[in-house]
Amino acid sequence: MNLGDLWRSTTGITIIVKAIKDGLNFNQARKYVSELATQQSRIRNENAGLFIVGDNISCDILKAAIRSQNLYHLMRVISYENFNQILQLKEGGYLNHKGVVTLMVPLDNIDVGELINVIKAAAAPAKLEKYFAKRK
């Protein structure tokens, strides 16, 4: 999957992945959200939008822009760090494809980073900590 591309999952869901630079302001975020919503409306099958951003401030600004347009059921925001952790969990066998998709599609207004922390705490925490320590 390349950033800015469509990821067609074997689950039948298409995820539109958009990488966003740091230093985002609210007006820029609203514009990105509107553009993604337009792109999503053009896709006929079930789809979700996923913004990947480098810093937590931009994550929060994008989340606020999504909420302000009542589109939290269509798109999600994830930090680059959390995105990489999801990929590492998949590579390490802790998540399957369906689990990855579940984390990347919008589930109400749940923060992906918080979900990842719950997964890490619940699924063999000592083993996972060793796994992540090796990856650094």
The per-residue pLDDT for range 49-63, each reduced to its tens digit, is: 999 999 889 999 999
pLDDT band with cut points at 50, 70 and 90 for residue 128? low
Place of tokens 């689950």: 11
Tell me if 10 is assigned to some domain. yes
List residues bridging with 53 in a β-sheet. Answer: 20, 79
What per-residue confidence (pLDDT) applies to 21? 81
- What 99-106 contacts at long range (C-beta under 8 Å, 24+ apart), as own/partner pairs, is 101/9, 101/11, 101/13, 101/15, 104/15, 104/48, 104/50, 104/76, 104/78, 105/13, 105/15, 105/48, 105/50, 105/76, 106/48, 106/49, 106/72, 106/73, 106/74, 106/75, 106/76
Q: Two tokens at 85?
A: 């952790």
pLDDT band with cut points at 50, 70 and 90 for residue 136? low
End-to-end CA distance of the chain, in Å? 22
Tell me if 72 is assigned to some domain. yes
Q: Which of the pair, 107 or 87, is modelled with greater confidence?
A: 87
Reduced DSSP (H G I as helix, E B as strand, rest coil) percent helix, strand, coil of the chain, to 5: 50, 15, 30
Tell me if 42 is assigned to some domain. yes
What per-residue confidence (pLDDT) applies to 1? 46
pLDDT band with cut points at 50, 70 and 90 for residue 126? low
Tell me if 112 is assigned to some domain. yes
What per-residue confidence (pLDDT) applies to 70? 92
Tell me if 98 is assigned to some domain. yes
Cβ atoms < 10 Å from Cβ of 48? 23
Tell me if 88 is assigned to some domain. yes
Q: Which of the pair, 129 or 104, is modelled with greater confidence?
A: 104
pTM of the model: 0.79
Tell me if 1 is assigned to some domain. no
The range of the structural domain enclosing residue 56 comes to 6-135
Tell me if 81 is assigned to some domain. yes
Q: How many domains does the chain have?
A: 1
3: pLDDT strictly greater than 70:
no
